[in-house]
Protein backbone atom coordinates (compact mmCIF):
# COMPACT_ATOMS: atom_id res chain seq x y z
CA UNK A 1 0.00 0.00 0.00
CA UNK A 2 1.13 3.51 -0.76
CA UNK A 3 2.32 5.62 2.08
CA UNK A 4 0.68 9.03 2.18
CA UNK A 5 3.01 11.87 2.91
CA UNK A 6 2.37 15.45 4.01
CA UNK A 7 4.54 17.90 2.10
CA UNK A 8 6.46 20.43 4.23
CA UNK A 9 5.11 23.97 4.16
CA UNK A 10 8.11 25.39 2.31
CA UNK A 11 7.56 22.96 -0.57
CA UNK A 12 3.86 23.83 -0.74
CA UNK A 13 4.70 27.52 -0.74
CA UNK A 14 7.10 27.09 -3.63
CA UNK A 15 4.61 24.98 -5.57
CA UNK A 16 1.80 27.54 -5.10
CA UNK A 17 4.04 30.34 -6.38
CA UNK A 18 5.10 28.26 -9.36
CA UNK A 19 1.51 27.40 -10.28
CA UNK A 20 0.23 30.97 -9.96
CA UNK A 21 3.16 32.43 -11.87
CA UNK A 22 2.19 30.09 -14.69
CA UNK A 23 -1.59 30.70 -14.68
CA UNK A 24 -1.68 34.23 -13.14
CA UNK A 25 -5.21 33.61 -11.91
CA UNK A 26 -6.97 30.53 -10.60
CA UNK A 27 -10.65 30.67 -9.90
CA UNK A 28 -11.15 27.96 -7.36
CA UNK A 29 -9.54 26.52 -4.31
CA UNK A 30 -9.96 22.96 -5.59
CA UNK A 31 -8.31 23.73 -8.92
CA UNK A 32 -5.39 25.44 -7.17
CA UNK A 33 -5.00 22.41 -4.92
CA UNK A 34 -5.03 20.05 -7.94
CA UNK A 35 -2.34 22.04 -9.71
CA UNK A 36 -0.22 22.35 -6.59
CA UNK A 37 -0.49 18.65 -5.92
CA UNK A 38 0.55 17.83 -9.48
CA UNK A 39 3.58 20.05 -8.94
CA UNK A 40 4.42 18.43 -5.59
CA UNK A 41 4.02 14.91 -6.96
CA UNK A 42 6.79 15.48 -9.46
CA UNK A 43 8.95 15.17 -6.40
CA UNK A 44 7.07 12.58 -4.37
CA UNK A 45 4.04 10.77 -5.74
CA UNK A 46 2.76 10.00 -2.27
CA UNK A 47 2.22 13.62 -1.31
CA UNK A 48 -1.30 14.56 -0.28
CA UNK A 49 -2.75 17.96 0.55
CA UNK A 50 -6.18 19.41 1.25
CA UNK A 51 -7.53 22.46 -0.61
CA UNK A 52 -7.97 24.21 2.75
CA UNK A 53 -4.28 23.84 3.60
CA UNK A 54 -3.28 25.12 0.17
CA UNK A 55 -5.51 28.17 0.66
CA UNK A 56 -4.18 28.87 4.15
CA UNK A 57 -0.62 28.81 2.88
CA UNK A 58 -1.56 30.95 -0.15
CA UNK A 59 -2.93 33.56 2.26
CA UNK A 60 0.55 33.95 3.73
CA UNK A 61 2.23 34.66 0.40
CA UNK A 62 2.53 38.42 -0.20
CA UNK A 63 2.74 38.01 -4.00
CA UNK A 64 -0.66 36.36 -4.08
CA UNK A 65 -3.98 38.04 -3.64
CA UNK A 66 -6.80 35.86 -2.40
CA UNK A 67 -10.30 37.14 -3.00
CA UNK A 68 -13.55 35.79 -1.71
CA UNK A 69 -16.07 35.39 -4.48
CA UNK A 70 -18.91 36.85 -2.51
CA UNK A 71 -20.40 40.29 -2.18
CA UNK A 72 -21.78 39.67 1.24
CA UNK A 73 -19.75 40.20 4.32
CA UNK A 74 -19.83 37.15 6.47
CA UNK A 75 -20.07 37.49 10.16
CA UNK A 76 -17.95 34.88 11.79
CA UNK A 77 -18.45 34.58 15.47
CA UNK A 78 -15.87 36.91 16.95
CA UNK A 79 -13.12 35.15 18.87
CA UNK A 80 -11.12 37.26 21.31
CA UNK A 81 -8.58 34.64 22.36
CA UNK A 82 -7.57 31.11 21.51
CA UNK A 83 -10.20 28.59 22.67
CA UNK A 84 -7.43 26.05 23.35
CA UNK A 85 -4.64 27.94 25.13
CA UNK A 86 -6.23 31.40 25.65
CA UNK A 87 -3.35 33.18 23.95
CA UNK A 88 -3.60 35.93 21.40
CA UNK A 89 -5.35 35.08 18.18
CA UNK A 90 -4.89 36.66 14.74
CA UNK A 91 -7.62 37.15 12.18
CA UNK A 92 -7.18 36.01 8.61
CA UNK A 93 -8.75 38.63 6.39
CA UNK A 94 -9.25 38.80 2.69
CA UNK A 95 -11.16 41.10 0.38
CA UNK A 96 -14.39 40.13 -1.28
CA UNK A 97 -15.60 41.18 -4.74
CA UNK A 98 -16.66 44.63 -3.63
CA UNK A 99 -13.32 45.24 -1.92
CA UNK A 100 -14.59 44.88 1.62
CA UNK A 101 -12.37 43.00 4.05
CA UNK A 102 -13.90 39.91 5.54
CA UNK A 103 -12.60 37.60 8.21
CA UNK A 104 -12.12 34.09 6.89
CA UNK A 105 -10.59 32.47 9.93
CA UNK A 106 -8.45 32.69 13.01
CA UNK A 107 -5.01 31.48 13.91
CA UNK A 108 -3.45 31.21 17.35
CA UNK A 109 -0.06 32.85 17.82
CA UNK A 110 1.07 30.20 20.33
CA UNK A 111 -0.42 26.75 19.83
CA UNK A 112 -1.41 25.17 16.53
CA UNK A 113 -5.07 26.22 16.69
CA UNK A 114 -6.55 27.35 13.39
CA UNK A 115 -10.12 27.85 12.36
CA UNK A 116 -11.47 28.47 8.94
CA UNK A 117 -14.61 29.76 7.35
CA UNK A 118 -15.00 26.41 5.62
CA UNK A 119 -15.97 24.96 8.95
CA UNK A 120 -19.01 27.24 8.99
CA UNK A 121 -19.98 27.65 5.37
CA UNK A 122 -18.65 26.81 1.90
CA UNK A 123 -16.75 29.66 0.27
CA UNK A 124 -15.41 30.29 -3.18
CA UNK A 125 -12.02 31.89 -3.62
CA UNK A 126 -9.98 33.35 -6.41
CA UNK A 127 -6.18 33.46 -6.41
CA UNK A 128 -4.35 36.16 -8.33
CA UNK A 129 -0.61 36.47 -8.90
CA UNK A 130 0.60 40.02 -8.24
CA UNK A 131 4.32 39.22 -8.09
ZN1 LIG B 1 -3.75 28.60 21.18
Q: Tens of pLDDT along the chain (131 residues)?
A: 568 999 999 999 999 999 999 999 999 999 999 999 999 999 999 999 999 999 999 999 999 999 988 776 666 677 889 999 999 999 988 888 888 888 888 999 999 898 887 766 778 899 999 98
Assess if residue 55 is contained within a domain: yes
Ligand 1 mean position, distance from CA 129 (Å): 31
* 3 within a domain of the structure (yes/no): no
How far away, in angstroms, is 105 Cα from ligand 1 center? Answer: 14
**Closest among 121, 87, 126, 124 to 107, alpha carbons compared:** 87
Confirm whether 47 is domain-assigned: yes
Instruction: Give the range of the structural domain holding residue 36, as residue numbers without chain letter.
Output: 9-129
Tell me whether residue 2 is in a domain.
no
Ligand 1 centroid to 21 CA: how many Å? 34
Q: Is residue 96 part of a domain?
A: yes
Based on the structure, what is the number of domains in the chain?
1
Distance from Cα 46 to the centre of ligand 1, integer Å:
31
4: in domain: no
19 CA to centre of ligand 1 in angstroms? 32
CA of 114 to the centre of ligand 1 (A): 8
In a domain, 63, yes or no: yes
Amino acid sequence: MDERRIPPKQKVLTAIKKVLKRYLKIESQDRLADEVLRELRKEDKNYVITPTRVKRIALEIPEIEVKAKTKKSINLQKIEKCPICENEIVERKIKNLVGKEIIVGYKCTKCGYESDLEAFMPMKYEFVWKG
